[in-house]
Amino acid sequence: MTGKLPGYFDENSESLSARIATGLHKLGLAMKQQSWQQANGAGLSATQGQILAALVAHGPLSGTELSTRLGVTLPTISDSVRVLVEKALVTKAPDPRHPRASLLTPTATGAALGARARSWPEFMADAVADLSPEEQRAFFSGIVKMIRMLQEQGLVPVTGMCVTCTHFRPNVRPGASPHHCAFVDAPISSDQLRLDCPEHERAPEPARREVWEQFLRRD
């Protein structure tokens, strides 16, 4: 089959980057829709579900810490926490680190709902599992770079990722695991980089930039 219009798609296609952005938008919509449906099924809003999931994953947190981790404004966090306290899913206690702040802890019921909320993105993991190992590696590498760029623009919170962590030492040795995590003192490969590590400590600028440049030198 030769085709009657051989150059049609050369002249009538958006750039690959634009089509990737469209694809990500569709994936984002699917994530939002699933989170909303599952949160609704559990009698929660998506933000309330995210808060419970974060408290299960990271232990007791203040409202400010939740706001930073989730990239949600403090007033929105406060509204959701008020509802979670009314529903007896979260308790508030004085934060020993900050006399005027409260530390939020899930109750047993809240922790059970939080554990369920943590698995909400699993439908996406099933779809990703269908990609070949090479496709998964390329996808993950692209995701790390995109999130890092969005963090620099202030659109994604600078939390949880190795490439912004004070313990991360990129490209310090040859081989399959060229990076190092000084927190656990262990080698780490590019495929093993964490996106949501509870031990993450944000590296200050300009160290963050230097770490990123060092990381890109081989990746």
Where does this chain bind ligand SF4 (CB under 6 A)? 162, 165, 167-168, 181, 183, 194, 197, 199-200
CB of 56 to ligand SF4, least distance (A): 18
Cα–Cα distance for residue pair 215/219, rounded to 1 Å: 7
* CA dist., res. 163 & res. 39, Å (int): 31
Considering the complex, state which of residue 92 and residue 194 has its C-beta at the smaller distance from ligand SF4. 194
Between residues 149 and 186, which has the closer beta carbon with respect to ligand SF4? 186
Which residue number, 52 or 193, has a Cβ lying nearer to ligand SF4? 193
Closest to ligand SF4 by CB, 81 or 193: 193
Give the contacts of 32 (CB within 8 A, at least 6 positions apart).
46
Closest separation between CB of residue 146 and ligand SF4, Å? 18
Closest distance between ligand SF4 and the C-beta of residue 182, in Å?
A: 7
Residue 76 CB, nearest distance to ligand SF4 (Å)? 26
